[in-house]
Amino acid sequence: MNPLVALHLALLTLTERNRTGLSARRRQHLDSDPEAGLSTLEITILALGLFLIAGIAVVVLTGATQGRLNQIK
């Protein structure tokens, strides 16, 4: 067998073991704690915070652009 093929098969085996191990641990963690994860309220608050940050960024960039355009004129 070509050494590269053997290496490829070994890496595929290792990544598959890692993937199945992680999914098993994730399932076990979720089964042990039914309250795991974010609630709808927490997701809403995070989304509103991101919208607020984006709005502030737009205001700052608009102000900087207008100030620069006024300097050019």
d(CA 52, CA 46): 10
Residue 37 makes CB contacts below 8 A (sequence gap 6+) with 30
Q: Are 36 and 29 in contact (CB under 8 A)?
A: yes
The pLDDT value recorded for residue 20 is 65
pTM for this prediction = 0.49
Domain containing 19 equals: 1-37
Same domain, residue pair 13 and 25: yes
Give the Cα separation of 46 and 39 in Å (integer).
11
Over the chain (73 residues), the average pLDDT of each successive run of 10 is: 74 69 64 67 90 92 90 84
Q: How many domains does the chain have?
A: 2
Residues 8 and 23 in one domain: yes
Task: Count CB-CB contacts under 10 A for residue 57.
Answer: 10
Q: How far is CA 41 from the centre of its chain?
A: 19
